[in-house]
């Protein structure tokens, strides 16, 4: 296990005392954090949307425990999962070996949607970060394979992010301005609505 310079966990359970609507859980990183409010607003009146976002890598015992216990704490009808922009030290085979059992666990708990990770640029957004891009494509390929094996719908945020205008991206090369997050959120919301409809 290798830690980053800063590690963080940020969670939110919306209207946690209510059970009159389906409940959705979004698991991910800072990209998931960025789209969360847009998704929550789009699903208002249709579902309550909880969030578990973190920087911890898949090989952290804490990460697996966080995900497992969070899912057990509420009854979810749909779960969104996005993991790929942290844990740079994990190689392809190791990433797949660690992410697959987590996805299988989540898939038994609720109808799932898997999101592919977004593209990463170098600071200034003038050039793609080739080292990260190679790793992201490898991880996205593993996620698509796992999704197909388990009958899980995929939202291709990578493809969307490659077409996102640079003025909607944050200059740090990884994150987005609000309109950029809104574009990603629209695709995510569509898949989550389908997942909820299938789970009726």
Side-chain-facing half-sphere of 28: CA atoms under 13 Å: 24
DSSP class per residue in 152-167? -EEE-HHHHHHTS-GG
Which helix (H) or strand (E) covers residue 25, if one does?
strand 23-28
**Domain locations in the chain as residue ranges:** 9-198
What's the mean pLDDT in 47-66?
97
Cα separation, 82 vs 111, whole angstroms: 14
Indicate the fold that domain 9-198 takes in CATH. Answer: Rossmann fold (3.40.50)
Cα separation, 41 vs 126, whole angstroms: 32
For 115, the 3-state DSSP assignment is strand
pTM score of the predicted model: 0.97
Does residue 81 contact residue 31 with C-beta atoms inside 8 Å?
Answer: no
pLDDT recorded at residue 200: 67
What's the mean pLDDT in 59-67?
96
- 127-171 tens-digit pLDDT: 999 999 999 999 999 999 999 999 999 999 999 999 999 999 999
């Amino acid at each position: 296990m290798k830690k980053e310079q800063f590690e963080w966990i940020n969670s939110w359970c919306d209207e946690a005392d209510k059970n009159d609507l389906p409940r959705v859980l979004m698991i991910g990183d800072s990209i998931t954090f960025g789209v969360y409010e847009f998704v929550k607003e789009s699903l208002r009146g249709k579902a309550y949307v909880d969030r578990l976002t973190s920087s911890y890598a898949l090989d952290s015992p804490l990460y697996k425990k966080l995900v497992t216990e969070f899912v057990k704490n509420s009854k979810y009808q749909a779960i969104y999962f996005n993991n790929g922009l942290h844990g740079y030290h994990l190689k392809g085979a190791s990433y797949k070996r660690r992410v697959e059992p987590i996805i299988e666990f989540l898939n038994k708990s609720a109808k799932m949607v898997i999101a592919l990770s977004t593209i990463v640029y170098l600071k200034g957004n003038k050039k793609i970060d080739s080292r990260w891009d190679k790793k992201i494509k490898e991880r996205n390929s593993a996620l698509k394979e796992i999704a197909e094996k388990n009958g899980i719908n995929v939202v291709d945020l990578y493809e969307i992010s490659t077409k996102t205008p640079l003025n909607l991206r944050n200059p740090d090369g990884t994150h987005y301005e609000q309109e950029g997050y809104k574009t990603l959120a629209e695709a995510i919301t569509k898949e989550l609505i389908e997942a909820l409809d299938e789970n009726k």
